[in-house]
Amino acid sequence: MIIPKTREEIELMREAAQVVSRTLGMLAPLVKPGVTTQELNDIAEAYIREQDAIPGFLGLYDCPSTLLTSVNEAVVHGLPTNIPLKEGDIVSIDCGAIKHGFYGDHAYTFQVGEVAAATKKLLDVTKESLYIGMRAFKKGNRVGDVGFAIQQYCEGHGYGVVRELVGHGLGRKMHEDPELPNYGKRGRGKKFIEGMTLAMEPMINLGTHKVRQLDDGWTIVTQDGQPSAHFEHNIALVDGKPQLLSTFDFVYEALGIVSDEEDEFRR
């Protein structure tokens, strides 16, 4: 059952999402060769608590960490480690926070120093696919319209669209209805309703769409060992249109990136 939120609840969710947005922005300049994902995790946990929020992942489904850090061929759900990141790596940092009883949950895939041109393009296309998916999140559309839009765009670049993991409704629970696959058929699935709130998160592979889980019971990796990218935003359907609750502005500010990609989705 989809749980629509009131305008007031959406504003509270925006605050929860912004805790995560600020945390990703705080981490952005620290993602460099030599840093470990465990160090990033510990800094993030302290920073979330400083904002009078609670780490959203820690303890949920027995998750042992504040961040999920997925390096190179890891798609999502990588656990922080003491292995230093190295030049040319990419790392998806997925972060959750609870504030006012609501969850924020989003992710950005960072480059560690300079990365291969093919990997950079995978990151650009995956992030763009998130905005393309968001444009399909509007009154009259259905879950399948978003999946179709993301799949069409990413497969058009020859990439693999992960099937086993999907976006989701978001609210007082981390995972609410509906499930939001990054593939699908136009006009199929649950209809979007005013006030619904989503975590949209394309997970896109440079090669095959096939994935497997590591023995740690968490990390999902590509079957062919090629890199995978993951970007996630939190959005609400307001006046029939998609509105961002999260932002990558803090990341861009930290990295000196100029972007207008979020403008059409602002309040």
Question: Using CB under 5 A as the criterion, which residues of the chain lie in contact with Mg ion when the complex forms?
Answer: 94, 105, 107, 199, 232
Which is closer to Mg ion, CB of 114 or CB of 216? 216
Q: How far apart are CA 175 and CA 204, in angstroms?
A: 21
Which is closer to Mg ion, CB of 10 or CB of 93? 93
Q: Are 58 and 45 in contact (CB under 8 A)?
A: yes
Beta-bridge mates of residue 220: 76, 213
Which is closer to Mg ion, CB of 58 or CB of 116? 58
Q: Cβ of residue 106: shortest distance to Mg ion, in angstroms?
A: 6
Local structure of 34: helix, strand or coil: coil
Which is closer to Mg ion, CB of 89 or CB of 94? 94
Q: Cβ of residue 165: shortest distance to Mg ion, in angstroms?
A: 9
Q: How far apart are CA 56 and CA 198, in angstroms?
A: 16
The residue assigned the tokens 């069409």 is 152
Which is closer to Mg ion, CB of 199 or CB of 251? 199
Cβ burial, residue 237 (10 Å; 0-12/13-18/19+): buried
Q: Cβ of residue 53: shortest distance to Mg ion, in angstroms?
A: 15
Q: Cβ of residue 176: shortest distance to Mg ion, in angstroms?
A: 11
Q: How far apart are CA 75 and CA 78, in angstroms?
A: 8
Q: How far apart are CA 136 and CA 140, in angstroms?
A: 10
Q: What is the CA radius of gyration of the chain?
A: 17
Which is closer to Mg ion, CB of 79 or CB of 239? 79
Q: Cβ of residue 201: shortest distance to Mg ion, in angstroms?
A: 5
Q: Cβ of residue 166: shortest distance to Mg ion, in angstroms?
A: 9
Which is closer to Mg ion, CB of 45 or CB of 105? 105
Q: How far apart are CA 146 and CA 180, in angstroms?
A: 8
DSSP 143-184: HHHHHHHHHHHHHHTTPEEPSS--EEE-SSSSSEEEEE-SS-
Q: How far apart are CA 67 and CA 22, in angstroms?
A: 14
Q: Cβ of residue 197: shortest distance to Mg ion, in angstroms?
A: 12
